[in-house]
Structure 1
Amino acid sequence: GVTAVSQQVEMHKSTVSRLLATLEGVGAVARLPESNLFRIGPSLLSLISQVPFHQQLIALASPFLHQLTAQIGEDSGLCVPDGDQVLQIDQVRGQQQIQVRNWIGERYPLHSSVAGKLFLAFFAEERRERYLRERPLIRYASQTYTDPDQLRPHLLAIRQHGYSWVLDEFADGLAGLAVPIFDSNNQIVAAVTIYGPSFRFPGDNRAAVLSLALDAGRKMTDLLRQSNR
């Protein structure tokens, strides 16, 4: 919002408010509904399409990640498939005293991470089966799926529901949620993640957290499709 921007650029709120109003008027930024946050506007989307894809995703997703973290209080992240792994390309930290670590730039296995299982679920069957056939399903935590025959129906359920939850699968004590971002060909290209210690997340807010995340994922999908027209 205006306050956060004024603090970051060290300018008075009234000045920042006028600048944002000007940028909004020319379509450079757009105000998110029902909030004081801003996102990239339509006049910049065509320019974004010329930026390398990961940078494009980060730019599109950043305001939504900040909003999710502000609403939920836990870290949010942005992940992309990278061969037979998951690559984390962005992360917004929450303000809790006990936090997960910073994972930007790190890679995780598909079968045990929350974004990885989402990618596996939405991959074409041939790609998914190749992974399950050729890659060892190494145990990373107490609830990691290590048997392809048990993982397959779980992935089918993820695809049907349109989201993925994990608990004690990538690391004991870690819980996470992932929702998809699709391109104009309806192919999954990224995942929005929210995660935190399982003693706190999602707690009694599971339904609300899921609703907020799915809404953000749909909006990011729409923006990405607009930018690539």
Structure 2
Amino acid sequence: MSKPNEDYLLSSVKNALRILRSFSLEEPEKKVTELASSLGLSKSTVSRLLQTLASEGFVTKDPTTQKYRLGLTILHLNTIVTSHLEINREAQPILQQLVRDIQETAHIAVLDGMDVVYINRVECQRPVQALSHIGRRNPLHCTSSGKVLLSYQEYAKTESYIEQGLARFTPNTITDPDAFRNALKTIRQQGYAISIEELREGVASIAAPIRDYTGKVVYALSVIGPVHRMNPYNPSIIAKVKRAANEISEKLGYWKT
């Protein structure tokens, strides 16, 4: 059974979400009393929740009217969602063609905190049962997508990740900090990353960076397959993955000068 304080926290989260959802195009601003009346909550509860939401930028208060409206954090989250929708829309036909060409499963991944998260997946006819479904979080240092994304980050973020420790998942996982730094340098130079049985035995992958219109690496395109079927060192596979990543980058507005 849930503890009383756990039930209270869950109730508070639900009520905070109800407050956020109560704003609309017709009613973009509301006072505490209006929210309390419409949601059936006490004014003290609504006021406390609004203060918490305001501290995180989810709502903002007009000092003159004393009304609340949605804050810029909502806009930031919306930008992330719409960006992912754009990348999936633009990348889908390119991923499908890549899967037809290589006959292995392809993904689009993004960096989220200290993890790589898969936001799109196009399966081949015989997909490997790997830990790469949409929404899945994997470590950065032992996946090709993760290594690509980390290799283009600022020095401080890269070092922060390395300093927290490079956990070993298989005998092939790179756990030595200097060896990993050298690997990231090589990835930046060659424009792609390879992972062979670093996260899971029997699985290989190759990834290349996807850039936005500013030239910043924001996503990674990867192809994954069983080691007995796919050789990520094959020059043809490398060329196809890099070309597909470049095509998606161009769809996002990137133009290499």
TM-score normalised by L of structure 1: 0.72
Determine if the alignment matches structure 1 residue 65 to structure 2 residue 92.
no
Deviation at 1:187, TM superposition (A): 1.3
Match of 1:34 in 2: none
Counterparts of 2:81 and 2:154 in 1: how far apart (Å)? 27
Within 2, Cα distance between the matches of 1:172 and 1:146?
A: 16
Q: Structure 1 residue 157 and structure 2 residue 186: aligned?
A: yes
Is 1:56 the counterpart of 2:50? The answer is no
Q: 1:209 aligns with which of 217, 233, 237?
A: 237
> How many Å separate the matches in 2 of 1:215 and 1:58?
17
Contact 1:180 1:217 in 2 (8 A): yes
So what's the TM-score if we normalise by structure 2?
0.65
Structure 1 residues 206, 100: closer, same or farther in 2, change over 3 A? farther
> Hey, what does 2:247 align to over in structure 1?
219
Task: Supply the AA of the counterpart residue of 1:94.
Answer: C
Q: Are residues 1:111 and 2:141 paired?
A: yes
Is 1:195 the counterpart of 2:220 in the alignment? Answer: no
- 1:208 and 1:51, CA in 2 relative to 1: closer, same or farther beyond 3 A? same
2: CA distance between counterparts of 1:153 and 1:81? 20
The match for 1:100 among 119, 122, 129 is 129
> In terms of Rg, which structure is larger?
2
3-state SS of paired residue (2:199): coil
State, as a whole percentage, how many aligned pairs show the same letter.
31
- Structure ranking higher on relative contact order (CA contacts 8 Å, 6+ apart): 1
Cα separation, 1, equivalents of 2:82 and 2:94:
20
Alignment partner, residue 122 of structure 1: 152
Q: How many correspondences in the alignment? A: 175
Q: RMSD over aligned Cα, in angstroms?
A: 1.9
Q: Could you tell me which residue of structure 1 aligns to residue 214 of structure 2? A: 185
Return the alpha-carbon distance in structure 1 between the equivalents of residues 215 and 134 of structure 2. 26
SS in 2 for 1:225: coil
Q: Secondary structure at the match of 1:126?
A: helix
Q: Which secondary structure state, in structure 2, belongs to the residue aligned with residue 222 of structure 1?
A: helix
Alignment of 1:1-40 (within 5 A): none
Q: Unaligned 5+ residue runs, structure 1?
A: 1-48
Match of 2:176 among 138, 141, 147: 147
Tell me which residue corresponds to 2:73. none
Matches of 1:88 and 1:162, distance apart in 2: 20
CA contact (8 A) 1:54 1:89 kept: yes
Structure 2 residue runs without a partner (length 5+)? 1-78
Q: Distance in 1 between matches of 2:133 and 2:170?
A: 18
